[in-house]
Amino acid sequence: KRFSGAYIRQSFIDFFVERGHTFVPSSPLVPGGDQTLLFTNAGMVQFKDVFLGTDQRPYRRAVNSQKCMRVAGKHNDLEDVGRDDTHHTFFEMLGNWSFGDYYKKEAIAWAWELLTEVWGLDKNRLWVTCFKDEYGEIPTDEEAAENWAKQPGMDSNHILFFGRKDNFWEMAETGPCGPCSEIHIDLGPEFCDKRDVPGHVCRVNGDCKRFLELWNLVFIQYNRLSPTRLEPLPARHVDTGMGLERITAILQGVSSNYATDLLSPLLDKVQQLTGHTLEERKANITPYRVIADHSRAATFLIADGVVPGNVGRNYVCRMIIRRAARFGRKIGLMDPFLANVADTVIEIYGEAYPELVKNKDVIRENLTREEIRFRRTVEQGLSQLDVYLEDLKARGEKILDGERAFDLYATHGLPLELIRDVAQEEGLDVDQEGFLRAMEAHRTISGAGKAFGPLGGERVDIYRSILEDLQRRGALGPEGVIYDPY
């Protein structure tokens, strides 16, 4: 079917294969041999060592669709999931790469050609951003802006400049980095959710939902030695990423990722299980979306060997299953049901990701077992939580302390994120730092050792030491420092 999610994924790959790129399959959600990162959160993760110069590949151009998870560390989108139309815990990132081969000219021309000619997007709806340093220290990316201006039908008023937060990419506090250029689409004034705010103006990278980021093109051209020193890299690279669900929604002309054929069959399945009318489904849209998102994520996680557990990645798997199960309870699904939703996930994704089909039984068993475990204690846990929240309200307080929250996890299996959901529904919140401290203390006492915290995190310190070592050994290129303001 033209513009099905599967068609779009394949046509992205074909477009770049026709332009000399090698198709590289998605790496697993668990980064291989990488202790620094909880989950693969971008297409570049499996190529990180190529940028660092410590790995070589038999190709200089690559294309793929990468399985990503953003529920931990620097990229944690969990709180947006279900509440907006465009952020998921698990999603697919389409990407093309140049390792010291082509650069801005080709990357920009191909992105424009694919979006506007192959896929036929209206050029007037597209906006692009380029890097301009607000501190005036790093050169403005004129090269990207000039290339954008040359594209057929490009409106030069749609080329904008932004600073470090939006348009400068860094792997860590030191190491490969460079300006990026992003493509945004104007969804139309009706998508603005701040119309009632006096003085609001819709802007690219602004605070309303009118403009949606589609595709990020990163141009890796510097090596950062310190907060104030950059040197040019001997080889320059291109690293791009576009969310498959977002481009699919645009090309299918629907207003939400959840309305695409990549996700809507999951919501349909939930509706079938609840027996809801369309009105009832609409009235419960957040639970429907969270269940669709989390069951897809858990299915992919288990297929990659991440089963529910207490620490690190396994905690995340447990947390999303329990969170989906609680949202299920809210809409009347009291018995285990996630294996049924997983069946639909496998139908949608099995062809592109055969590991799902191969591990179907393991996926179903792990989901159901975890739901049964949770069901044993959830009732007690939720009523204990209610008591705590009523107590807070009676005292006119707003924050549930970390000790009590951790006790709810340790005794009744309520993950922090789920406690937070319930508290927030009552206009209250949880002391997350306190929860983590209590958990760490418990772990030290119980001798379980220090691992990734329950929320995980990217261990920037480890990246830094690897990079410093490489720099000491001169493995990252000449010492031609291009700026040093001090």
Residues that bind ligand ATP (CB under 6 A): 42, 70, 77, 87-88, 91, 93, 213-216, 241-243, 245-246
Between 245 and 355, name the residue whose CB sits nearer to ligand ATP: 245
Which residue from 17, 20, 64, 69 is spatially nearest to 41, judged by alpha carbons? 69
Least CB distance from residue 225 to Mg ion, whole Å?
25
- Return the range that interacts with Mg ion (CB under 5 A); candidates 208-216, 269-277, 356-364, 381-389: 208-216
Q: Which residue is nearest to ligand ATP (CB)?
A: 243
Between 69 and 405, name the residue whose CB sits nearer to ligand ATP: 69
Give backbone dihedrals phi and psi of 389, rounded to 5 degrees, phi first.
Answer: -70, -40
* SS3 at position 99: strand
User: Look-up: residue for tokens 């493509």?
Assistant: 183
Between 216 and 252, name the residue whose CB sits nearer to Mg ion: 216
Least CB distance from residue 93 to Mg ion, whole Å?
11
- Return the range that interacts with Mg ion (CB under 5 A); candidates 16-24, 210-218, 359-367, 457-465: 210-218
Residue 273 structure tokens: 């299980």
435 binds, among Mg ion, ligand ATP, none (CB under 5 to 8 A by kind): none
Between 262 and 321, name the residue whose CB sits nearer to ligand ATP: 262
246 binds, among Mg ion, ligand ATP, none (CB under 5 to 8 A by kind): ligand ATP
Cα torsion for 285, 286, 287, 290, to the nearest 10°?
A: 120
Per-residue b or e along 61-72, where b marks 16 or more CB atoms closer than 10 Å to that residue's CB:
bbbbbbbbbbbb
Least CB distance from residue 292 to ligand ATP, whole Å?
13
Least CB distance from residue 182 to Mg ion, whole Å?
6
CA distance 391 to 393: 5
Least CB distance from residue 160 to Mg ion, whole Å?
14
Q: Which residues contact 476 (CB under 8 A, 6 or more apart)?
A: 52, 53, 175, 176, 223, 233, 467, 470
Least CB distance from residue 273 to ligand ATP, whole Å?
25
Per CB under 5 A, which of residues 117..146 are in contact with Mg ion?
none
Between 88 and 289, name the residue whose CB sits nearer to Mg ion: 88
Least CB distance from residue 209 to ligand ATP, whole Å?
10
Site string for Mg ion, 385-424 (x = CB under 5 A): ----------------------------------------
Least CB distance from residue 378 to ligand ATP, whole Å?
27
Q: Which DSSP string do the residues of 171-188 spell out, in sequence order?
A: SSSSEEEEEEEEEEEE--
Between 66 and 368, name the residue whose CB sits nearer to ligand ATP: 66
Contacts of 8-13 with CB under 8 Å at 24 or more apart are 8/119, 8/244, 8/247, 8/248, 8/251, 9/65, 9/92, 9/94, 9/244, 9/352, 11/118, 11/119, 12/63, 12/65, 12/94, 12/114, 12/242, 13/63, 13/64, 13/65, 13/94
Per-residue b or e along 278-295, where b marks 16 or more CB atoms closer than 10 Å to that residue's CB:
eeebeebeebbbbbbbbb
Between 81 and 392, name the residue whose CB sits nearer to ligand ATP: 81
* SS3 at position 35: coil
91 binds, among Mg ion, ligand ATP, none (CB under 5 to 8 A by kind): ligand ATP
Amino acid in position 2? R
Least CB distance from residue 26 to ligand ATP, whole Å?
14
Between 246 and 269, name the residue whose CB sits nearer to ligand ATP: 246
296 binds, among Mg ion, ligand ATP, none (CB under 5 to 8 A by kind): none
Q: Which residue is nearest to Mg ion (CB)?
A: 216
- Read off the DSSP letter of residue 358: H
235 close to 222: Cβ distance less than 8 angstroms: no
CA distance 74 to 36: 12
290 binds, among ligand ATP, Mg ion, none (CB under 5 to 8 A by kind): none
CA distance 359 to 352: 14
Between 87 and 289, name the residue whose CB sits nearer to ligand ATP: 87
Residue 342, burial from CB neighbour count under 10 angstroms (0-12, 13-18, 19+):
buried
Give backbone dihedrals phi and psi of 159, rounded to 5 degrees, phi first.
Answer: -105, 115
Least CB distance from residue 293 to Mg ion, whole Å?
15
Between 313 and 412, name the residue whose CB sits nearer to ligand ATP: 313
Between 74 and 150, name the residue whose CB sits nearer to Mg ion: 74
Between 256 and 380, name the residue whose CB sits nearer to ligand ATP: 256
92 binds, among Mg ion, ligand ATP, none (CB under 5 to 8 A by kind): none
- Return the range that interacts with Mg ion (CB under 5 A); candidates 32-40, 112-120, 205-213, 371-379: 205-213
Q: Is 216 in the site for Mg ion (CB under 5 A)?
A: yes
Cα torsion for 90, 337, 272, 278, to the nearest 10°?
A: -60
Least CB distance from residue 218 to Mg ion, whole Å?
9
Partner residues linked to 90 by β-bridges: 69
Which residue from 239, 135, 134, 127 is spatially nearest to 178, judged by alpha carbons? 239
93 binds, among ligand ATP, Mg ion, none (CB under 5 to 8 A by kind): ligand ATP
Contacts to Mg ion by CB under 5 A: 213, 216
